[in-house]
Structure 1
Amino acid sequence: MTEDTLQKLEQRVADMINLIEEMGRENEILRTDQQMLRQEFKSLQEKNKIARGRVEQIVARLKSLEP
């Protein structure tokens, strides 16, 4: 193996290590984003449930006012 070939191989290995580290950081960011979105989704589901209950109450009151 020539010196040039060895240097190219070392560079490729270093590039791969950098890529793996970058992907690890991106993966952590994506996991954090995913967790935040899950929490937001749960919150929105709860708000939707509350709003639905209020609308049902209004509809029931309106129906009770019908002659």
Structure 2
Amino acid sequence: MTSKTRLAQWIEDNDLTLGEVAELTGFSKSMIGLAARGERNFSAAGKVKVARRLGARVGVLFDVTAEDKVAV
């Protein structure tokens, strides 16, 4: 059994669809789905954009790496 990504869990907890998250963030539904399944990663700037548009902290939605901290 695989665990959900933080993004997928947040989407579920907030009763949103991938389409709704895509509309709110400006990213495609496909990209949101890939990220929610852990198959793609956003850049550091992309993580910030998603978090801001969803009104959440980056660390709540994504694992934050040292590389992300330097980039932002």
Q: TM-score surpassing 0.5?
A: no
Over alpha carbons, which structure has the higher Rg?
A: 1
Q: TM-score, normalised by structure 1?
A: 0.20
Q: Which has the higher contact order (CA 8 A, sep 6+)?
A: 2
Q: TM-score, normalised by structure 2?
A: 0.18
Q: Which has the higher helix share?
A: 1
